[in-house]
Amino acid sequence: METEEFYNKRNIVENKKEKANLSDGGRKILKILSNYKIKRFLDIGCGDIFLSKNIITTCNIETYYGVDISENGVSEANLLGIKAKKLDINVEKLPYQDNYFDFILAGEIIEHLFDPDIFLSEVYRVLQKDGYFILTTPNLASWHNRIALMLGYQPHYSEVSIKYNIGKLFPTNKTDVSGHLRVFTLRALKGLLKLYQFQIVKVIGHGTGISIDKIISNYMPNLSTGLIVLCKK
């Protein structure tokens, strides 16, 4: 299956789901964004229109730009008033001039990329000096992944097949493949961001609806299910 076809199908499915509330990660992203008055905002992976709707209604953003590999996701984002463009960040440069955006969001994107180095170089290029960048990604070293590995199971968020999701401690739909190519510990992610000259401002953990997961994610980001890293250029 072609990359574009894979993510187009995922966006069609996800955007048709009835979602009552934002995820813990989504709420924490909104909390960060609401602290800033943003002139030009770029959402890399804007096809998740449920989060986009909440950003538009909650945050003080003058102009909302977006890119996504999914044609369906771009179409729906444009209907919301986002200046969205179809783009494969793996192989294409961001179609914006240097130092253009004062805030960039890449939510659950970097783990899907063949070449995260080009991606981070491009984000740095189009971000203004003293601009902010929010990056979110699953945590390879989460508390439950550490237990899974100790027991001989495949860590969650990592996959051995492009067709089947197998070998996990907590079985899920065997054909629900996320398409993750890169998985990060907090130490590795911070190290990579620093190599591309980003200053780490804050690290926040996010979790699922399970109480113990929320507690661990709130107080021990290095063990959290997901990572939110706020950076500055």
Domains of the chain by residue range? 3-139+181-232
Torsion angle of the four alpha carbons 60, 26, 89, 174, in this order, in degrees rounded to the nearest 10:
-160
Average pLDDT of the segment spanning 19-47? 90
Distance CA 6, CA 60 (A): 33
What pLDDT is recorded for position 13? 41
CA 184 to chain centre: 12
The tens digit of pLDDT for each residue in 96-119 reads 999 999 999 999 999 999 999 999
Pick the CATH number of 3-139+181-232 from 3.40.50.150, 3.40.30.10, 3.10.110.10, 3.30.540.10: 3.40.50.150
- Does residue 151 carry a pLDDT above 60? yes
Question: Is pLDDT larger for residue 12 or for residue 48?
Answer: 48
Tokens at residue 186, please?
């907090």
pLDDT value of residue 12: 42
Report the alpha-carbon distance of residue 82 to residue 214 in Å, rounded: 32
Interval 196-233: pLDDT, tens: 999 999 999 999 878 899 899 999 999 999 999 999 99
Per DSSP, which regions of the chain are E strands?
37-44, 60-68, 83-86, 101-107, 127-138, 199-206, 226-232
Residue 16: is its pLDDT beyond 60? no
